Amino acid sequence: MADEHDGTATDGELNQLASVNLNLLVPLLALLEERSVTRAAARVGLSQPAMSHALRRMRRLLGDELIVRQGSGMALTPRAVELVAPLRATLQQTARLVQPTAFDPAVDRRVITVAMTTSTAFVIGGAIARLVARHAPNAVLRLRTTDMTASMASSTVFTEGGIDVVLLPEGFPSAFPRERLYEDRWVVITAAGAPAGTPAEELLTTLPHVVFDGSPRLLRPYDVLDERGVQYTVRDRVDDNLLVPHLVAGSGGVGLHRHRVATALKDVLGLRLEDFPFPIPGLGIDMVWNPWLADDRFRTWMRGILLDAARSL
C-alpha cells in the first residue's frame, strides 16, 4: 500500500475518482481564472447556460460556492483560491500525458499572458508582440497592463490571473525569483519651450510638477527630492504614468519619467530631457515567472522571446 504521505493515490482514492465527472475540471479552471461565467464559457467553447449548469455541478461536488459576487464584479472564495494552482498544474500534466509532444511554437495554440505597467508595455510590448507573432503564429498574446500595486508579484496574481510572467519594475518586491530583462533610468522632462540652459535641479524647483500617483506614494525620485529638502509644487496628478509626458508637453511644467519612454515620445511631443540631478538607484525591469508554470520548454522559449525583445530596444 502506498504511504498516505508520499503523494501516490491509493486504490480508494482512485475508485472515488470513478464517480467524479472529470470533464468539469477544464471549465472549473477557466471559471476560476476568468472570474466570469461569460468569459469562461467563451474560453472553453461552451454556451453560457451550459457553463452556468457546470458551475452548479461544481459547487455541489466541492461543497463550496467557488465564485461569489463582490461589488460590481466577482471574487473567488478562499477554497477556490487554493484550487487554482494545483488544478492548473494537474491539467497541464494531464495534457502532456494524453498529448506527449514537446512544446512547438509553430503549432501551439495557447494563450500567453504577460503582465506589466502601461509604460513597460509602451517600451517593449510591440517587440514582444512582433516576435510572438513571428515564431508562434497560432498563439494568442494577452498583455495585461496594471498599475503594479504591491500584490502584482504575489501568488494571487498568478493563481487568479493565469499570468505566465510579470515584468516587474526594480523597486517592487517579489516573493519569487527574478531576472533582469533590461535597464532604465529616471529623467526630468519638460516642454521644449522650457528655459534653455536651465539646470535640471532648477527646473524641478521652479516649474509646477505633473506627477503619477497611482500608488500610495509618489515615485521614488520624489523620495530623493524630499530627503534632500528640494522644494517643489505639484500641479497635476494622474493615475496613468503615460499621461505625464502628454500633460507636460501640452501645458508646460515638469515631470519625472523613465528614459526609454521619454526618448520614444521626445520628438512626437516636443519634449526636453535632462538627467535626474541626484544619485538614485536604477529602474531596471525584471522577469518574475509564475512559480506553478509546469511547462519548462515553453518557459525557456518565452524567456528567449523576452530577451530578444529587450535586445531590440
CATH of the domain at 83: 1.10.10.10
Asked whether the beta carbons of 178 and 168 are under 8 A apart, the reply is: yes
Q: Are residues 161 and 129 in the same domain?
A: yes
Beta pairing class for 234-238 and 209-212: parallel
* Tens-binned pLDDT, residue by residue, of the chain (313 aa): 344 444 555 555 545 555 566 678 888 888 888 888 888 888 888 888 888 888 888 888 888 898 888 888 888 888 888 888 888 877 877 766 666 567 889 999 888 999 998 889 999 999 999 999 999 999 999 998 876 554 555 566 676 667 899 999 887 878 788 999 999 999 999 998 888 788 999 999 999 999 987 655 667 889 899 999 999 999 999 888 889 999 999 988 999 999 999 999 999 999 999 999 999 887 899 999 988 777 888 999 999 999 999 999 8
Q: Are residues 158 and 305 in the same domain?
A: yes
For residue 240, the model assigns a pLDDT of 84
Q: Are residues 201 and 58 in the same domain?
A: no
Grid cell in block for residue 63: 461543497
Q: Are residues 262 and 208 in the same domain?
A: yes
Run of H or E residues at 274: strand 271-275
For residue 148, the model assigns a pLDDT of 58
Range of 171's domain? 111-180+284-311
For residue 1, the model assigns a pLDDT of 39
For residue 34, the model assigns a pLDDT of 87
For residue 210, the model assigns a pLDDT of 92
What are the residues whose beta carbons fall under 8 Å from the beta carbon of 41, sequence distance 6 or more? 27, 47, 48, 50, 51
- The count of domains in the chain is 3
49, burial (CB in 10 Å: exposed 0-12, middle 13-18, buried 19+): exposed
Grid cell in block for residue 9: 493515490
